[in-house]
Amino acid sequence: AQSVTQLDSQVPVFEEAPVELRCNYSSSVSVYLFWYVQYPNQGLQLLLKYLSGSTLVKGINGFEAEFNKSQTSFHLRKPSVHISDTAEYFCAVTDTGGFKTIFGAGTRLFVKA
């Protein structure tokens, strides 16, 4: 079975500063990895996904993530955040042979002016 650990429950950061949201996963099989964002009172929407190939994945809104197989990590980064990036971010994993997506507990990003 897979599991996902998001190492920070909350991350406060000033506007225009860089940010990294950390995600580690465990699985005995190959996986697909995802980051979703949830704005207040909305459903989740996909930021980016890693299926195969290049380990650096670029997503929407200037976010990117790097898959590190040896460290079983998939950290999300943005070089300069905006107030509008304030939201909850979820890391998720699906094994390549299954259908069930396991979500992490979420990291709440607060961007301060």
Partner 1 sequence: DAGVIQSPRHEVTEMGQEVTLRCKPISGHNSLFWYRQTMMRGLELLIYFNNNVPIDDSGMPEDRFSAKMPNASFSTLKIQPSEPRDSAVYFCASSLEGHYNEQFFGPGTRLTVL
- Give me the residues that bind partner 1 (CB under 8 A), please: 32, 34, 36, 41-46, 49, 51, 90, 94-101, 103-106
Considering the complex, state which of residue 52 and residue 70 has its C-beta at the smaller distance from partner 1: 52
Q: How far is CA 82 from the centre of its chain?
A: 17
Comparison of 36 and 67: residue with beta carbon closer to partner 1: 36
For the bound state, the minimum distance from the C-beta of residue 30 to partner 1, rounded and expressed in Å, comes to 11
Q: Given the complex with partner 1, which of 3 and 84 has the nearer CB atom?
A: 3
Nearest Cα to Cα of residue 111 among 9, 8, 10, 12? 12
Q: How many CA atoms lie within 13 A of 39 on its CB side?
A: 7
| Nearer of residues 42 and 70 to partner 1, judged by Cβ | 42
CA distance 2 to 103: 10
Minimum gap (Å) between residue 73 Cβ and partner 1: 19
Which class for 23: exposed (0-12), middle (13-18), buried (19 or more C-beta within 10 A)?
buried
- Min dist. Cβ of residue 104 to partner 1 (A): 8
